[in-house]
A and B are shown apart, each in its own frame.
Chain A
């Protein structure tokens, strides 16, 4: 077992390359002018600019939160570039022409091929529609025709602001108001792009939707905004992936994701987050400070968050569900793997408001190296939530004696008919299990990998197939060299 304790020293980050591409970036720093400039570059309607400025003014009054168990040097918000776009793209954005993938910079296409998203291929073959966000702007969607036929709107949020301003105006900030928290407020002021998705009444989205985020430029923050609205009786499966180049500086990623599920609608949101984690000494890496929240607005609606968090120097996110509609259901399935000097503070909030609401939380944390991994969650049963039900399970696994694992489950119950169960356990891979597998001819590495995958299985099975395969591979890759 002593072998297993060696931290994940040599795990290579295979997405660490930088794409040499001309970008159109605004100067560093944050001010009202910069916000006006971003809004102008994106040719936004007046109300959007007002919203941004309102958020910015509120943000100035807020203080950076310190409650999470993560340590990092103070962020200089004036040292971040709030808008960076691949050049060709940004000219297009100004002209506000519909974007087609064929117009993309070949360099950019190569980048995504290296990332394993051949857009050209995906466009024709695979069954997933992809929206790709590069630095600050969305650079292209695939499968638009097929989606249009079904009546599904899937486009970048900038495009949606022009094409469907009423929808965006109605729902933007309805789940995560700009005043919600420090980073959500910053995002509301400076968000540059993201995906917008609207599933009309009764439509089962014919293909899975996917967004791919990539931070490329140096000193850039990525502030994207995703908004998904599922009308009555609709269904959508949404996937999100992220990578960033290997750099010595820390980069900030403060996204906001809002989901709205109306009566009997169902949204499944899956994330495989693999931002650059920093090097072995903990230099560089992405600060992933994200606000994700869904609202089960209608009766019998369902929202589920599934996440595999294996990247970022610091992860700080709590995908939540507000269970407003009666009989609505929320779920949170998470695997968080930390290595070297990574810090993850992640979990969920389940706010039960409606009657007979149900929530499930399954969280698996694996810490190795010098990393720290925390589950922080809240289950709140409001007085109106008759017969609410929650089941939570948080398991942690420690590999090595320099890492740490924490759980902070907050449970607030204001209704006696609620039934809640929370359980958590922490342990390490037992020597017996390793011995058992080794005696059957598996080497140490495969044994650990098999045990970790078994540990995470409950979550992986919630992922769509392609993601599930990717997640297993990702965990395997991260665990490589974790053993002698």
Chain B
């Protein structure tokens, strides 16, 4: 057992109050009774949590905070605000603030018993009967890392707000960090948020992330989740969005790091008129395992969702895609599209994909599709016949295949940044 039982130590060390203390207790109770999910659980059919059981993790909350002169190796990007966590600890000296954005760390909120955003989100979760599993409970059981972020109404930022969770080569035991993010994007504002997980190469750690994002009416949010953890790390997480009337969301979930990665991406339409694009990219090699579970909940009518996940797999890596779309009763005029395309570049790679539609309203349109295949030899030949070396031809075709989703962001800065991440990832997986 990966030592997820030092709960009393957490409780003794932290003096959380009111609802926050209740949340911590709830998480500890639920996790103690359920334990890590097993493959007999339908949602974990293709993904084993065995490595979490085999390895011993120490809570990063109990570990010593990193020194302030630490250098964080992340790819540069112009930002409107930047908040950096290293091994779960907030580094104010590395962070950059913005007057339109207020932040408070979870520990600050919990010790001062400031609950307004927490209560709002917990209520929303209840109204949509949000799905959660024992890893969400584990996140709460180790409550402490992360932050609450409020974007004021009518804020327009030219550059993204970047949240970086960095893990370095910690000298002690492998660390487990359970960041929690509560985000609210005010009415009529338009911002980009980057939720980023990066690790120093060779670092062994476990990130179990949870982000709840409320997009207020008529707001526009571009949310990019980048999972570029070290290849020895494990990253599991859930991002949950609540979309209010006429809001607009474009989310891109990118996974290339970690030996085991699992991301739950949930969108709940809670007021009519909203629309969401949910895209995902994954590039894996070696023995990597990447699992993407998406859930689009058309709780109310007149909302549109467009989903597209694409992945490239080499070596004996394995990808899982499970896309669930639920159109509830009376959610009339809902529109939903879903597509999953996979490129297998090695004979040992494996893909398990399951697009899933559950429809309880009749005046709706919903489609889904998925494809699996290798590169088209004719396309490769076309490039070869134009004197492009094979390696380069493969790179052009494969990167072109995934870059489509980056271009959809229609944001040159993010495009350049993500394209460089893709190129790096491609170099790594092709070795």
User: Is the Cβ of B357 less than 8 Å from the Cβ of A427?
Assistant: no
User: Is the Cβ of B365 less than 8 Å from the Cβ of A411?
Assistant: no
Which among A398, A406, A409, A423 is the interface contact of B367 at CB below 8 angstroms?
A: A423
| Residues of B contacting A119 in the complex (Cβ-Cβ under 8 angstroms) | none
Identity of the chain B residue whose Cβ is nearest the Cβ of A402 in the assembled complex: B329
User: Is the Cβ of B330 less than 8 Å from the Cβ of A406?
Assistant: no
Cα A418 to Cα B350 in complex, Å, equals 11
Tell me if B379 counts as interface (CB < 8 A to partner A).
Answer: no
User: Is the Cβ of B371 less than 8 Å from the Cβ of A422?
Assistant: yes
User: Is the Cβ of B354 less than 8 Å from the Cβ of A408?
Assistant: yes
Which among A398, A399, A418 is the interface contact of B372 at CB below 8 angstroms?
A: A418
Cα A410 to Cα B322 in complex, Å, equals 9
| Residues of A contacting B365 in the complex (Cβ-Cβ under 8 angstroms) | 425-427
Cα A396 to Cα B364 in complex, Å, equals 11
| Residues of B contacting A419 in the complex (Cβ-Cβ under 8 angstroms) | 371-373
Tell me if B369 counts as interface (CB < 8 A to partner A).
Answer: yes
Identity of the chain A residue whose Cβ is nearest the Cβ of B352 in the assembled complex: A412
| Residues of B contacting A423 in the complex (Cβ-Cβ under 8 angstroms) | 367-369
User: Is the Cβ of A405 less than 8 Å from the Cβ of B352?
Assistant: no
- Please encode chain B, from 104 to 122, with 1 for each CB lying within 8 Å of some chain A CB and 0 for all others: 0000000000000000000
Which secondary structure characterizes the binding site on chain B? strand
User: Is the Cβ of A426 less than 8 Å from the Cβ of B349?
Assistant: no
The stretch of B17-25, B188-196, B340-348 that contacts the partner chain: B340-348
Given contacts A405-B357, A411-B352, contact A416 B347 (CB under 8 A): yes
Query: Which residues of A414-433 are within 8 A (CB) of B?
Result: 414-428
User: Is the Cβ of B369 less than 8 Å from the Cβ of A405?
Assistant: no
User: Is the Cβ of A415 less than 8 Å from the Cβ of B347?
Assistant: yes
Q: Shortest distance in angstroms between B33's beta carbon and chain A's nearest beta carbon?
A: 20
User: Is the Cβ of A409 less than 8 Å from the Cβ of B354?
Assistant: yes
User: Is the Cβ of A412 less than 8 Å from the Cβ of B368?
Assistant: no
Identity of the chain B residue whose Cβ is nearest the Cβ of A404 in the assembled complex: B360
User: Is the Cβ of B42 less than 8 Å from the Cβ of A411?
Assistant: no
User: Is the Cβ of A420 less than 8 Å from the Cβ of B362?
Assistant: no
Cα A423 to Cα B329 in complex, Å, equals 23
| Residues of B contacting A399 in the complex (Cβ-Cβ under 8 angstroms) | 362
Cα A419 to Cα B357 in complex, Å, equals 22
User: Is the Cβ of A422 less than 8 Å from the Cβ of B329?
Assistant: no
Which among B346, B359, B370 is the interface contact of A422 at CB below 8 angstroms?
A: B370
Given contacts A407-B356, A412-B350, A414-B350, contact A428 B363 (CB under 8 A): yes
Given contacts A398-B359, A402-B329, contact A411 B364 (CB under 8 A): no
- Please encode chain B, from 79 to 91, with 1 for each CB lying within 8 Å of some chain A CB and 0 for all others: 0000000000000
Cα A260 to Cα B301 in complex, Å, equals 49
Which secondary structure characterizes the binding site on chain A? strand
Given contacts A407-B356, A419-B372, A423-B368, contact A413 B362 (CB under 8 A): no
Tell me if A272 counts as interface (CB < 8 A to partner B).
Answer: no
Q: Shortest distance in angstroms between A397's beta carbon and chain B's nearest beta carbon?
A: 9
Tell me if B36 counts as interface (CB < 8 A to partner A).
Answer: no
Tell me if A72 counts as interface (CB < 8 A to partner B).
Answer: no
Cα A415 to Cα B373 in complex, Å, equals 9
Which among A383, A401, A426 is the interface contact of B332 at CB below 8 angstroms?
A: A401
Given contacts A423-B368, A424-B368, contact A416 B361 (CB under 8 A): no
| Residues of A contacting B342 in the complex (Cβ-Cβ under 8 angstroms) | 413
Cα A419 to Cα B373 in complex, Å, equals 5
Which among A401, A412, A415, A417 is the interface contact of B362 at CB below 8 angstroms?
A: A401
User: Is the Cβ of A424 less than 8 Å from the Cβ of B369?
Assistant: yes
Given contacts A383-B347, A410-B352, contact A420 B371 (CB under 8 A): yes
Tell me if B158 counts as interface (CB < 8 A to partner A).
Answer: no
Cα A26 to Cα B152 in complex, Å, equals 76
User: Is the Cβ of B355 less than 8 Å from the Cβ of A424?
Assistant: yes
Chain A contact residue count (CB 8 A cutoff): 35
Cα A401 to Cα B46 in complex, Å, equals 34
Q: Shortest distance in angstroms between B1's beta carbon and chain A's nearest beta carbon?
A: 26
Cα A409 to Cα B360 in complex, Å, equals 18
Q: Shortest distance in angstroms between B336's beta carbon and chain A's nearest beta carbon?
A: 9
| Residues of B contacting A418 in the complex (Cβ-Cβ under 8 angstroms) | 344, 372-373
User: Is the Cβ of B359 less than 8 Å from the Cβ of A396?
Assistant: yes
Cα A404 to Cα B362 in complex, Å, equals 8
| Residues of A contacting B261 in the complex (Cβ-Cβ under 8 angstroms) | none
Identity of the chain A residue whose Cβ is nearest the Cβ of B343 in the assembled complex: A416
Which among A383, A404, A410, A413 is the interface contact of B359 at CB below 8 angstroms?
A: A404
Cα A79 to Cα B236 in complex, Å, equals 47
Tell me if B288 counts as interface (CB < 8 A to partner A).
Answer: no
Tell me if B292 counts as interface (CB < 8 A to partner A).
Answer: no
Cα A419 to Cα B343 in complex, Å, equals 10
User: Is the Cβ of A405 less than 8 Å from the Cβ of B359?
Assistant: yes
Identity of the chain A residue whose Cβ is nearest the Cβ of B357 in the assembled complex: A407
| Residues of B contacting A47 in the complex (Cβ-Cβ under 8 angstroms) | none
Tell me if B351 counts as interface (CB < 8 A to partner A).
Answer: yes
Cα A396 to Cα B361 in complex, Å, equals 12
Which among B42, B350, B368 is the interface contact of A413 at CB below 8 angstroms?
A: B350
Cα A30 to Cα B359 in complex, Å, equals 39
Identity of the chain A residue whose Cβ is nearest the Cβ of B371 in the assembled complex: A421
Given contacts A419-B373, A423-B369, A426-B359, contact A410 B354 (CB under 8 A): yes
Identity of the chain B residue whose Cβ is nearest the Cβ of A415 in the assembled complex: B347
| Residues of B contacting A409 in the complex (Cβ-Cβ under 8 angstroms) | 354-356, 370
Tell me if B133 counts as interface (CB < 8 A to partner A).
Answer: no
User: Is the Cβ of A401 less than 8 Å from the Cβ of B372?
Assistant: no
| Residues of A contacting B201 in the complex (Cβ-Cβ under 8 angstroms) | none
Tell me if B139 counts as interface (CB < 8 A to partner A).
Answer: no
User: Is the Cβ of A424 less than 8 Å from the Cβ of B354?
Assistant: no
Which among B358, B363, B370 is the interface contact of A420 at CB below 8 angstroms?
A: B370
Tell me if B353 counts as interface (CB < 8 A to partner A).
Answer: yes
User: Is the Cβ of B359 less than 8 Å from the Cβ of A411?
Assistant: no
| Residues of A contacting B42 in the complex (Cβ-Cβ under 8 angstroms) | 67
Q: Shortest distance in angstroms between A74's beta carbon and chain B's nearest beta carbon?
A: 21
| Residues of A contacting B361 in the complex (Cβ-Cβ under 8 angstroms) | 398, 401
User: Is the Cβ of A416 less than 8 Å from the Cβ of B345?
Assistant: yes
User: Is the Cβ of A411 less than 8 Å from the Cβ of B357?
Assistant: no
Identity of the chain B residue whose Cβ is nearest the Cβ of A420 in the assembled complex: B372
| Residues of A contacting B358 in the complex (Cβ-Cβ under 8 angstroms) | 404, 406
Cα A418 to Cα B347 in complex, Å, equals 10
Tell me if B6 counts as interface (CB < 8 A to partner A).
Answer: no
| Residues of A contacting B348 in the complex (Cβ-Cβ under 8 angstroms) | 383
Given contacts A401-B332, A412-B350, A417-B374, contact A422 B355 (CB under 8 A): yes
| Residues of B contacting A401 in the complex (Cβ-Cβ under 8 angstroms) | 329-330, 332, 361-363
Cα A420 to Cα B343 in complex, Å, equals 11
| Residues of A contacting B393 in the complex (Cβ-Cβ under 8 angstroms) | none
Cα A420 to Cα B370 in complex, Å, equals 8
Cα A406 to Cα B374 in complex, Å, equals 29
- Please encode chain B, from 169 to 207, with 1 for each CB lying within 8 Å of some chain A CB and 0 for all others: 000000000000000000000000000000000000000
- From B46, B344, B349, B362, name the one whose CB has the most chain A CB atoms within 10 angstroms: B362
Tell me if A400 counts as interface (CB < 8 A to partner B).
Answer: yes
Q: Shortest distance in angstroms between A56's beta carbon and chain B's nearest beta carbon?
A: 25
Tell me if B366 counts as interface (CB < 8 A to partner A).
Answer: yes
| Residues of B contacting A420 in the complex (Cβ-Cβ under 8 angstroms) | 370-373
| Residues of B contacting A396 in the complex (Cβ-Cβ under 8 angstroms) | 357, 359
Q: Shortest distance in angstroms between A363's beta carbon and chain B's nearest beta carbon?
A: 12
Tell me if A403 counts as interface (CB < 8 A to partner B).
Answer: yes
Cα A426 to Cα B326 in complex, Å, equals 12
| Residues of A contacting B370 in the complex (Cβ-Cβ under 8 angstroms) | 409, 411, 420-422
Query: Which residues of A58-82 are within 8 A (CB) of B?
Result: 67
A-B contact pairs, 25 of them (CB 8 A): A67-B42, A401-B363, A403-B360, A404-B358, A405-B357, A407-B356, A407-B368, A409-B354, A411-B353, A411-B354, A413-B342, A413-B344, A413-B350, A415-B344, A416-B345, A416-B374, A417-B374, A419-B372, A420-B373, A422-B370, A423-B368, A424-B355, A424-B357, A424-B367, A426-B367
Besides the contacts A400-B362, A401-B329, A416-B349, what 10 more A-B pairs have beta carbons closer than 8 Å? A398-B364, A406-B356, A411-B372, A412-B46, A413-B351, A419-B373, A423-B367, A423-B368, A424-B367, A424-B368
**Could you list which residues of chain A lie within 8 angstroms of chain B, going by C-beta atoms?**
5, 67, 383, 396, 398-428
User: 7 tightest CB-CB pairs across the interface, nearest first?
Assistant: A416-B344, A398-B362, A423-B369, A404-B360, A426-B366, A420-B372, A425-B367
